[in-house]
Chain A
Amino acid sequence: DTAVSQTPKYLVTQMGNDKSIKCEQNLGHDTMYWYKQDSKKFLKIMFSYNNKELIINETVPNRFSPKSPDKAHLNLHINSLELGDSAVYFCASSQSSTPSAQYFGPGTRLTVL
């Protein structure tokens, strides 16, 4: 069974469009994250949600909005897509009560044309 899943795996779209990426975890974790990995493979935190509350926003443009309907899901909505948004986006989850590792989803490769 997949622990952290994301859909879609690939997303190709035009500049200016709005798109969403979905993430679900079945590990019972209370914290979920979104990371962006650029073409140079640098992995950078974007958002973190703990018990459905945003606790990090690392200066990400407000075109990016995370939405967490419950603690097993953290979706990422992106408005007015730009060329520079092309990257691989990873969802991850962890349990905050223990210093546990973060478990990553398979990633969504976003290409903006």
Chain B
Amino acid sequence: GQNIDQPTEMTATEGAIVQINCTYQTSGFNGLFWYQQHAGEAPTFLSYNVLDGLEEKGRFSSFLSRSKGYSYLLLKELQMKDSASYLCAVRRHGGSQGNLIFGKGTKLSVKP
């Protein structure tokens, strides 16, 4: 089976840095995605990791360790608009091309 865990909620201060962790257990791992979802809106793609290491994209970075089944999303210079849910999703190999299994999301609240 597969299991994806991430904290339910986090709070951080505007201008600070926050790290959202995700651990996973799955067969046929073929990459990990992070999505951002504002309340009442669709998920939007943030980052993708398939090899170990850090991927940086502006204020957002994502890290993957396949041996540990672990990823994190790092948000720097937090802004109020970063208040949203952050979804970790694992992609698997196999006939179900592009099959993504989502975690339950981490609701981030950014305070002034």
Contact = CB atoms under 8 A, between A and B. Distances in A.
Contacts, number: 56
A34 interface: no
Interface residues of B, number: 24
Interface string B76-112: 0000000001010001000111111110110000000
A44 interface: yes
Nearest to A104: B42
| Chain B facing A: main interface SS | strand
Interface in A81-103: 90, 94, 96, 99, 101-103
B48 interface: yes
| Chain A facing B: main interface SS | strand
Contacts of B97: 31, 48, 50, 55, 96
Interface string B19-50: 00000000000110100010001111100101
B85 A101 contact: no
A99 B91 CA distance: 9
Given A104-B42, A106-B42, A96 B102 contact: no
A33 B99 CA distance: 9
Interface of B: 30-31, 33, 37, 41-45, 48, 50, 85, 87, 91, 95-102, 104-105
